[in-house]
């Protein structure tokens, strides 16, 4: 059977967009976004009233961000993946440009000794958010173009690592160690899934681990975070304050929680309750039942993304396959890091919880990721409608 080619004359009629989407994945994403809105409302009322006099200030803005994110998802869903694949090299240049722009004094906005935001009127854009998606698109396209060379050429293996490394270096200049580490982990994960020789992957992991350890050891504030993470109770009112308050919140939750809106820790005890530590308040108010629900939602979303990537590869859609894997890795790793920080499994990183934490940049970029992921599923459905048989089915015929 001939390979699937976009625009071939024997293609089936274009499938209607909505019925061809993964409906269960859509439901899971909507459920997570709605639960996130509820938690932003619960976690932000006190701090919003103190800061602005309006207890619903952050909720109203987050609701607007969610609507905007839904619009972005719908717009991205309309664009064929071939458009993103063709423009991957240009998009990674945009990512590098954003990372350089934010470091220019007077252009990038500095908050808490970190220069991570570009002020754009009503919205401050945290450039790390779009960068991780733009790099994922580039690397997915690169792996399609250089699939054969990955097994034989050291250059083909190192090129995406170098691009991601350049972005990670600029992220460290902000500084943003958490996003830099996550970006390198996503690229390493994609290379592993692409089937690079195991010894090269192991060498990459060893080098990255050594670089990360050096950055921690020779940076006083990062080392302080590590020591605080290892024993937060030794200094609970200073370096260990965030983690101890987070652990108290989680411990108070018990099996069923203290009830929605009943958190004590969000009342000026737990810093950044509506952004970095929304998971802690959720655990306090909804208990183990709420925590389990959130874990299952993220597990399902990531599992669907990884399964979708595998099916796309089987149906001769390699770019869609790599992109779905990349998006699954980004969502899964960011959620794992955020929840790991809240529960004391990882040092403080400052990464938000996708679909839950307050923030315009995070919401809009997550909307773009959702649109791309659903588009991967749509093009898979279109390939199946066109009669493309799985590769392993043809081999067994």
Write the pLDDT tens digit of every residue in 105-135: 888 887 767 788 888 766 788 999 999 999 9
- Model confidence at 349: pLDDT above 70: yes
| CA–CA gap between residue 142 and residue 126 (Å, rounded) | 26
CA gap 21, 73 in Å, rounded: 13
369: left (phi over 0), alpha (psi -120 to 50) or beta: alpha
Q: With 60 as the cut, is the pLDDT of residue 244 above it?
A: yes
Render pLDDT for 146-183 as a digit per residue (tens, 0 to 9): 988 888 888 889 999 999 999 999 999 988 899 999 99
Res 263 pLDDT > 50 = yes
CB-side exposure of 259: number of CA atoms within 13 Å?
2
- As a whole number, the mean pLDDT across the chain is 89
Whether the per-residue pLDDT at 394 is higher than 60: the answer is no
Nearest to 288 by CA among 245, 258, 244: 258
- pLDDT at residue number 10: 47
Confidence of residue 3 (pLDDT cuts 50, 70, 90): very low
* Residue 190 pLDDT > 90: yes
Give the confidence band of 393 by pLDDT, cuts at 50, 70, 90: low
Q: Check residue 94 and give its pLDDT.
A: 96
* Strand pairing category for 123-126 and 109-111: unpaired
- Whole-angstrom Cα distance, residue 312 to residue 383? 9
Indicate whether 343 pLDDT > 80. Answer: yes
pTM: 0.92
Say which residue, 339 or 348, is predicted with more confidence. 339
Residue 12, pLDDT score: 58
The pLDDT confidence band at residue 268, using thresholds 50, 70 and 90, is confident
- At residue 223 the predicted structure's pLDDT band, cuts being 50, 70 and 90, is confident
pLDDT of residue 231: 78
- Residue 220 in this model has a pLDDT that exceeds 80: no
- 21-75, pLDDT tens digit by residue? 999 999 999 999 999 999 999 999 888 888 888 999 999 999 999 999 999 999 9
Q: What percent of the chain has pLDDT over 90?
A: 62
């Amino acid at each position: 059977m001939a390979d699937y080619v976009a625009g071939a004359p024997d293609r089936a009629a274009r499938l209607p967009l909505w019925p061809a989407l993964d409906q269960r994945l859509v439901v899971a994403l909507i459920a997570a976004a709605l639960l996130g809105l509820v938690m932003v409302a619960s976690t932000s009322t006190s701090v919003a009233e103190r800061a602005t006099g309006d207890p619903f200030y952050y909720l109203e803005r987050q609701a607007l961000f969610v609507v905007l994110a839904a619009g972005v998802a719908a717009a991205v869903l309309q664009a064929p993946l071939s458009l993103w694949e063709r423009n991957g090299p240009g998009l990674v240049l945009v990512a590098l440009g954003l990372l350089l722009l934010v470091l220019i004094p007077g252009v990038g906005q500095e908050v808490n000794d970190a220069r991570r935001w570009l002020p754009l009127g009503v919205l401050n854009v945290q450039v790390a958010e779009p960068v991780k998606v733009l790099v994922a698109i580039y690397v997915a396209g690169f792996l399609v173009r250089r699939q054969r060379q990955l097994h034989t050429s050291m250059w083909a293996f190192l090129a995406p690592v170098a691009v991601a490394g350049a972005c990670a270096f600029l992220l460290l200049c902000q500084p943003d160690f958490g996003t830099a580490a996550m970006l390198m982990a996503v690229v390493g994960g994609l290379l592993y899934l692409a089937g690079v020789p195991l010894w090269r992957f192991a060498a990459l992991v060893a080098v990255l681990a050594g670089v990360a350890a050096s950055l921690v050891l020779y940076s006083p504030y990062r080392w302080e975070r590590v020591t605080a993470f290892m024993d937060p109770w030794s200094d609970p009112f200073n370096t260990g304050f965030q983690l101890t308050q987070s652990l108290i919140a989680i411990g108070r939750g018990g099996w069923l929680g203290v009830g929605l809106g009943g958190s004590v820790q969000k009342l000026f005890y737990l810093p950044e309750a509506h952004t970095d530590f929304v998971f802690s308040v959720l655990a306090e108010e909804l208990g183990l039942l709420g925590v389990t629900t959130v874990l299952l939602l993220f597990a399902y979303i990531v599992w669907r993304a990884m399964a979708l990537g595998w099916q796309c590869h089987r149906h001769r859609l390699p770019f869609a396959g790599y992109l779905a894997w990349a998006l699954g890795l980004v969502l899964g790793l960011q959620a794992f890091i955020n929840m790991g920080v809240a529960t004391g499994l990882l040092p403080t990183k400052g990464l938000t919880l996708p679909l839950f934490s307050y923030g315009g940049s995070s919401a809009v970029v997550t909307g773009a990721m959702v649109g791309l992921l659903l588009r991967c599923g749509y093009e898979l459905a279109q390939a199946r409608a066109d009669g493309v048989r799985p590769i392993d089915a043809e081999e067994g015929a």
